[in-house]
Structures are given as C-alpha cells and as structure tokens.
Chains A and B, each alone.
Chain A
Amino acid sequence: GENVEQHPSTLSVQEGDSAVIKCTYSDSASNYFPWYKQELGKRPQLIIDIRSNVGEKKDQRIAVTLNKTAKHFSLHITETQPEDSAVYFCAASITGSQGNLIFGKGTKLSVKP
C-alpha cells in the first residue's frame, strides 16, 4: 500500500522567511496530493491540492510542486506570518471511489515574529 514520508517534523522560521516542507510517496499510481493545515486545537483544513497532471500550483503565498518521476511533492510558503504557525500534513491517494488518503506524519511550523 501507499506510504507517505514527510520532512522535517519540525520547522522554525523568522517572519517573512520562506518555509518548505517535503513529502515522498511510494505508490506510483497515486495521483492526488493535498495539503492540510491544523492550527493548535483545531480541525485539519485543506489549504491546497495538486493532481498528477500538473507540476505546480499556486495560491497567493502558498505553492505546491510535484515531481512524479521522483515521487515527491513539496509545500512552499513565502513571506511567512505568525498565523502560518500550525501543523501541516501532506497526503497522497489514487483518485476514484476506492482511493483513500494516506497522510504523512506532519510538520510543525513555527513562525517567530
């Protein structure tokens, strides 16, 4: 089955710096890669996703890149702000009714003012 590895487990940056979180997956059939953000004590919420027919996707200060050959994808946050502090989870899945998301173990991002 699918296995998703996520690095680093913790990341501390200064406000205004960029942050990068990387994930690798094992199943070459996976073709859907979402990122969820979980603020302290809150529920996870989708912030961005990418499908395998796209190499990069941007939404304001966040972007996700996908390298299918290497089976890895990354989350990039630019101009970080204190409200970006949270745990971020990557996930991978095969699309279709039977595809279930497999999550990475999470990255705790701390943005210092």
Chain B
Amino acid sequence: NAGVTQTPKFRVLKTGQSMTLLCAQDMNHEYMYWYRQDPGMGLRLIHYSVGEGTTAKGEVPDGYNVSRLKKQNFLLGLESAAPSQTSVYFCASSKQGSGANVLTFGAGSRLTVL
C-alpha cells in the first residue's frame, strides 16, 4: 500500500516549457487535490477533483490545468511555465470531501522554473 505517490520529485524547467506532474493513489479515494506550498504562504489549493472525470478550481488555478481520467490518477499540467510557478507541489487525496476527512499527502514535487 503506497498511499499517494507523486512523480517526478524534482524538475527544472525553462520559462515557457510545459510539463505534467502525476499523482497516483491506491486507497480508492474519491477526492484528490493539488496544492502548492511557498515559503510563508502555507498550502494553497490549485485544483481538485470529487471523482473520476471531474475537476474544479481551487484558490490559485491560473496557469494550471488538471485531468482525472482514472480514479486513481490526478494530473497537474503547466502549459507554459513561469518563474512564479516555482514551488513545491503536493498532491493529496481523501475518502470524502476534505471538509471533514483526513487528507493523505504525497511526498511533494519540487519545481524550479528558470
């Protein structure tokens, strides 16, 4: 039982490049989330999904896209990376909505945009 797995763990991009972060969970959780963590800013929700085939915007969605084609996977895409997207990205999942359920986080993906 691996829990929540994120790939890659580290990535360096040049401005304008695109990339996709993959999140996979093996707990059969319905809800999945992408957060970004910046120094002094806490954890901010980018996008989330309440089930396979659904996505919704969080607090800071601009510049990101997501897809949930399979229940166990939640992909975060950057179409044209900007230095402001340099951050640590955490994926999380929960059995039901995070409003009353424990979030299980992945180990994080550190992205640097030059």
Contacts and interface: CB of A to CB of B under 8 A. Distances in A.
Given A43-B106, A46-B102, A103 B44 contact: yes
B48 interface: yes
Interface residues of A, number: 27
A24 B106 CA distance: 27
A44 B90 contact: yes
A89 B43 contact: yes
Contacts of B98: 93, 99-101
B99 A106 contact: no
**Chain B interface mostly helix, strand, loop or mixed?**
loop
Given A32-B99, A98-B97, A103 B105 contact: no
Given A43-B90, A45-B105, A100 B100 contact: no
Nearest to A98: B97
B103 to A, nearest CB: 7
Interface of B: 33, 40-45, 48, 50, 58-59, 90, 96-100, 102-103, 105-108
